[in-house]
């Protein structure tokens, strides 16, 4: 009988611990959403020059499913994913999807890279400050490439460190883009 009471007490304690953990998780979710919203709002408040030196307000892309790719011309996986990002952008622009690249590089190198690879997606220049912007959007370590996805509602909804592949891009569109 004592053993049965002990098992019931242990089971009850486990259920209470699980409930407490779930409550803490649920309580913390609005904070995470608010941080993501603040990060997206900070991004949209920026103006960055493009490869030609023209200031581009990032609020231009508010209301779209925005794929923000942080990259550099000296980063091999970054260079490898650029043609895929261009193809993706061309394919989904009609679905209110936009792709922008924020280069952790100088404008001359980005402009030459754009020309050599025939890219049409907006390539903005942020120099080394681009890493700070990426960290604000959730980049846990200073890695490139890094991609953040901002919903049409203005929330950071996905983050990806390393080269992004077509299936991942497709999943984001299926999940967050308006038809």
Judge whether 75 counts as a catalytic residue. yes
Residue that the structure tokens 């497709």 belong to: 170
Judge whether 22 counts as a catalytic residue. no
Among residues 78, 100, 123, 173, the one annotated as catalytic is 78
Residue 58 CB-density burial (10 A; 0-12 exposed, 13-18 middle, 19+ buried)? buried
Contact 117, 95 (CB under 8 A): no
Contact 70, 145 (CB under 8 A): yes
Among residues 36, 75, 98, 134, the one annotated as catalytic is 75
Contacts 24+ apart (CB under 8 A), 87-92: 88/166, 88/169, 89/120, 89/121, 90/120, 92/173, 92/177
Catalytic residues: 75, 78
């Amino acid at each position: 009988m004592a053993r049965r009471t002990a098992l019931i007490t242990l089971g009850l304690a486990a259920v209470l611990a699980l409930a407490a953990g779930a409550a803490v998780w649920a309580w913390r979710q609005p904070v995470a959403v608010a941080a993501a919203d603040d990060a997206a709002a900070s991004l949209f408040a920026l103006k960055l020059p493009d490869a030609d030196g023209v200031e581009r307000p990032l609020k231009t892309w508010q209301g779209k499913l925005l794929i923000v790719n942080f990259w550099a011309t000296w980063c091999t996986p970054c260079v490898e994913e650029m043609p895929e990002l261009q193809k993706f952008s061309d394919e989904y622009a009609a679905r209110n999807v936009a792709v922008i690249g924020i280069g952790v590089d100088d404008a001359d190198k980005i402009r030459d890279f754009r020309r050599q690879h025939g890219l049409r997606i907006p390539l903005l220049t942020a120099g080394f400050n681009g890493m700070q912007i990426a960290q604000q959007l959730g980049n846990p370590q200073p890695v490139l490439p890094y991609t953040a996805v901002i919903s049409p509602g203005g929330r950071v909804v996905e983050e990806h460190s390393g080269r992004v592949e077509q299936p991942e891009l497709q999943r984001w569109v299926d999940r967050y883009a308006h038809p």
